[in-house]
Amino acid sequence: MTRLALVALLAVALGGCGAQRDPSTLTVFAAASLRTSFVQIGERFERDHPGTSVEFSFAGSSDLVTQLTQGAYADVFASADTGTMDRAAEANLLDGAPVQFAANTLTIAVAPGNPKGIRSLPDLSAPGISVVRCAPQVPCGRAASAVAEAAGVELRPVSEESSVTDVLHKVTSGQADAGLVYVTDALDAGERVTAVDFAEAARAVNAYPIAALKESQKSEAARQFVSAVTGPVGRAVLRRNGFAVP
């Protein structure tokens, strides 16, 4: 049995200067859209590296890099876009150059069966349609802005969320008629949503980079995890969960 731990938004607590860290635990900060894939990769990594456990913090990439720059501890960082990883690099957080390991695009998530009849991105601006999207400062939000501009659509969201999983929750809980989410998140939601693809999504492809972190106390294990994500096992998992892989 794996003791894989899923930790959300507790990074600052983990990163206190005097914190005692389990030497067998590898801490990975990863974009919220990577949850399903990275849990699966982490379980395989634990089997292949007996005595090592993987602990994840999943959140919006922008929130994670902010936590890292404020002193939170992690061994590996995986972002949902290159811009956020660039912020980590500019803060001198990275141990080596980041590696692109996946790509993702947006789709429109709606209630099962698409009761509002949404067929295209312009439909999201129709009267009576409540839309939710990611905030502009996070990768999924920047992608949403790009596709809206490409389509000539002005989105009027009822809320802007800090992560794509929060957008998806607004749709699955009935708080919004539609949400712009990654293809992978809609796939992971299964029958809880219907995905409506749109042509403009190709105008905002998010590349996902990963890197070991300079402050890691387990640098070899961190590099091994990066290799697991970018290698054949990781690529197979990511492809199965809907990501495009190099």
Q: Which residue has the tokens 């990768």?
A: 139
Query: Pairing between strand 76-78 and 206-212?
Result: antiparallel
Residues 148, 141: Cα–Cα separation, whole Å: 11
Does the annotation list 227 as a binding residue?
no
Does the annotation list 79 as a binding residue?
no
The residues that bridge with 77 in the sheet, in sequence order, are 29, 211
Does the annotation list 33 as a binding residue?
yes
Does the annotation list 65 as a binding residue?
no
Annotated binding site: 33, 61, 164, 182
**Binding site for molybdate: which residues?**
33, 61, 164, 182
